[in-house]
Each structure stands twice: as structure tokens, then as C-alpha cells.
Amino acid sequence: MALNDRDGSISDAVESARTRAQETQTTQWLAWRMRLPGCDPLAVWAAAEGDVRFFWEQPAAERALAATGASFEFTAEGPTRIGDAAIRARQVMARVHVAGEAAPLAAGPLLVGGFAFDDAHAAQGEWSRFPGARLVLPRMLVSRIGEDVYCTLVEAIEPGAAPTQGVAALEERSAAVRSFEGMRWVDEGEHESPHLGGALGARAGSWPPGAEYRVLADRPHEVFRTQVAEAVACIRDAEFEKVVLARSLEVQHPGRFDLPGFLHRLRGIYPHCTVLAFGDGEDTLLAATPELLVALEGDTVRACALAGSQRRGRTPEEDEALGRELLEDKKNLAEHAAVERALRAVLEDACAGLEAPNHPELMRIEGIQHLATPMRGQLSEAASPKPDVLDLVDRIHPTPAVAGEPSAVSIGWIAEKEGLDRGWYAGPVGWIDRHGGGEFWLALRSGLVRNPERGSSQRATPWARARLYAGVGIVSGSQPDQELRETRIKLRALLAPLTEI
């Protein structure tokens, strides 16, 4: 066959899919994997504008993936949404038949998606395209692992399928995908060759006008300070140990936000974070998150307790001093300890052994530094069945890092007091491979961008809107002014590269 069938793998996969589809009267999926040298997954993501699409990159680790289209989709709401998704993911992956290039599991096929922060979430208003749980089996997945780039194409095989069903479509699509070889996504600004002397010598009045932005806080600062004080009072009265309070900014912009350019800037500014995006139509969740919820590769589990923050210094000496201050600060250490205890309890139950430092370390990223306790363990052989990555997500989320301690009480307080529809903010977003491994990161330093429909005639200049989110952990000793200052630092992480003013 034309799909490089030297080892007969496509023939075997087609026959296997047809047989299973007929025997079970269920849809099966044929996944064809090929190499795509030199392709930047962001270029693939940018080309799929308006479609269901997913982007995930760890720049410093040289790992990235872009997924477009949906061969299968699962959605759910309510408190069982993550567990339901775990069951459905196993069922779907058992019906995927893979052929083509040999590659690591992370090269695909994968399920991609995410989950709302809390059980009570409803897909409505700003978050209408983001249900409580959403998993997608992409029609196309491009994965970069180091210097290797792979593309996985998926086609459905229905009961009663002809011997050639799916193959012709894969042949046509694989030929079209070859156009992505060597393609890089470059920010439009990088194409410019400005003559600084001429520009700076011009009169200010002769410059073209810059982009226009309006930035609106969701509540007055005094209201946020009062909420912090109320939370501290509840902690003093022993209603809970910790609660995470979030606030948001709405950024309005005439026209459209350049989302590929935004992601490109984020991966340059935050190489040690995970840059991610999930889009449907004109609505896109984006994040540059430092916080791994859980990862599973084989039997190896990784997670990281992350809580407690301090700004970065303006000089190396000041930065070092601020880091030492953070490592010794009782308030931040107490906030971190609540997260570490909760995460350790879950992982110790699932793992035969768990390795973690005795004291938190510093995680330093652009503009901010955090207390971090990385954890690593091996799944217990006594567990039957062994948990997959979504089982672990279900057990861990929400951690005290995004909700509070105890979880149920703090979430109730958030729902009553915060006045913010978090949607997928602070929820798990990531991917699952065929063996149940994968990675999920918390959608922190995140925003929901809603561009106007192309060709919209509702007004002369439609406005795009982006809502940016940031939260802070409130514990005994929290000070309203300090917590407000911390949200400002976190909000700048996305506000500056989004607006580029």
C-alpha cells in the first residue's frame, strides 16, 4: 500500500479494526503514525484556527504537541466527571489500532483535554464551550520529542467496513500533511527589520497608533482585601486551615487577539513552565503553568507540591536574599506544608515508595519564585488494577494549592465568597497515552480568550475579550495588601505578553 507498508503493519491494523468493529458492533479507530521532520507543532496549531485544537509545550525539555480535529469526543459534568473520563479513556484506547513508524508512547495516539476546577461547574456563559470534563481523540496529532517529530492521523472504522475503509482517507491526508515538514511558526514581529534611527528620529505625532486595550478588574481592590481578611478570620475560628482566593482581569481589544503569537511569546518567556492551550471555535483557554499535578510514565509517578510565593529580585544579590526569605517565611511554609501533606497522602497510598526532599526547594521563573517539593515514586505492585494517570488525577484534584484545606469546606467558602466562575481555571489539563500514562498540569497563570467570529457584522469593530486569572493561598498570618500584591505579580505573567504595550 502507499502508506509505507513495508512491514504490513497497515494491513494488519486495518484487518484488526474491521474484525473488532464487526464483532463488537462498535466504532474502532485506525491510527497511522509517520515522521514529520522539522515541523513546529505551533505552526500546526495555528493552521487549525476555528477547529477543536490543543497545544502543549515544555520548551526547556524540548517536548511539544499540537492536536487538531476530533475523531472522538467525551464530555461529562458533576463530581464523577474525572472518574467517568478515566473509564471512557480506557475503553476508547482499547479500540485504537496503530500502524506506521515506531515511536515513544507520548508520540501518539493520545487523548487530550481537561477538567473544570470544581464539581458544580456548568458549561455556560463565558465557559459554554468548556464542560466539566472534555476528552478528544484528535484527527491529527503532531508531537516533538527532542529532535524527532511525529504525526499521527486517525480515521474511524465502522462495523461492516470495506477492506479499504479509512486507508484511502489516510493516504490523502498523509500526503497533505507533508506540507508541514520543516515548517516553523514565526511571530510577525520577528519578520520586521526596523530602522531604529529613522523611527526614533520621527516626531511622536507621526507614529502609527498602537493597539488599544481596556483592562477591567472583576472587583475593587478594597473588596478583595476584605475577602482576604474574612478568610483569615475563618482560619482563626478553625473553620478551615487554608483557602485559595482568586480574582480576574478582563482585557478588551478591538479586533482579534493573535493567539499563536501569544503562545510563541509565552514559550520564550517561560521556558521552564508548561505552555498549553485548548481551543474550540473562537474560545481558547491558555496557560503558562509552573504546576504539575501528576505525571505517569510506565510505573513511575511524578508530582510537585507548589505553594508559597515571592517576587524575583532586581539584582542577583537581591534575588538570593528574597529566596532565603521565602525559605524561612512561616506564613509561606505553612501554606506549602498543607499542599505537601495532602499530595503526599495520596501518592503514598498509590506508590510502593515515594522520594521527596525533606525541605522545600525554590522554583524560580520569570517574575516570581515558589516553594516546591518535587515527588517521585513507583506504583505499588499490590494495587489491582493499577491506577492510570486519570485515576491519579481523580484522587489528587483539587489539591490545597488551588482550593484549600480541608477541600470540601474551602470549596464551599470559595463558591459563596469569591464571586468568580473559575471554569477550567485551576483545573487539570493534559493528555493520556494508550497505556494509561500521561501528564496533567493545573491551568494556572491562565486566561480564557474569546475572539469575535470572523466576518462578524454586529458592530463596525468587534471586540475580543480575555479573562486572566490569579489566585493566592490564604493561611493564618496572611496580610490583605501582600496577597493583593501577589495576584498582581501573577496576573502580569499573561497580561504583559498578551497586550505587548
Burial 349-377 (b: 16+ CB within 10 A, else e): ebbeebebeeebebbbbbebbbbbbbbbb
Is the preceding omega at residue 406 within 30 degrees of 0, hence cis?
A: yes
* Rg of the chain over all Cα atoms, to the nearest angstrom: 24
Quick one: which of 59, 491, 61 has its CA closest to 268? 59
Q: Is 291 a catalytic residue?
A: yes
- Catalytic one among 155, 242, 418, 483? 242
Quick one: which of 120, 71, 136 has its CA closest to 429? 136
Q: Helix axis angle, 221-236 relative to 480-499, nearest 10°? A: 130
- Catalytic one among 155, 241, 282, 291? 291
H or E element in which residue 41 lies: helix 41-47
Q: How many CB atoms lie within 10 A of CB 89?
A: 24
Quick one: which of 21, 72, 69, 110 has its CA closest to 388? 110
Half-sphere exposure at residue 2, Cβ-oriented, CA atoms within 13 angstroms: 11
**Residue 413 near residue 420, CB atoms below 8 Å:** no
Alpha helices per DSSP H over 65-134: 81-93
Bridge partners (DSSP) of residue 65 are: 56, 143
Q: Is 317 exposed, middle or buried (0-12, 13-18, 19+ CB in 10 A)?
A: exposed
**Residue 327 near residue 351, CB atoms below 8 Å:** no
CA distances from 261 to 53, 69, 430 (A): 16, 21, 21
Supply the residues annotated as catalytic.
242, 291
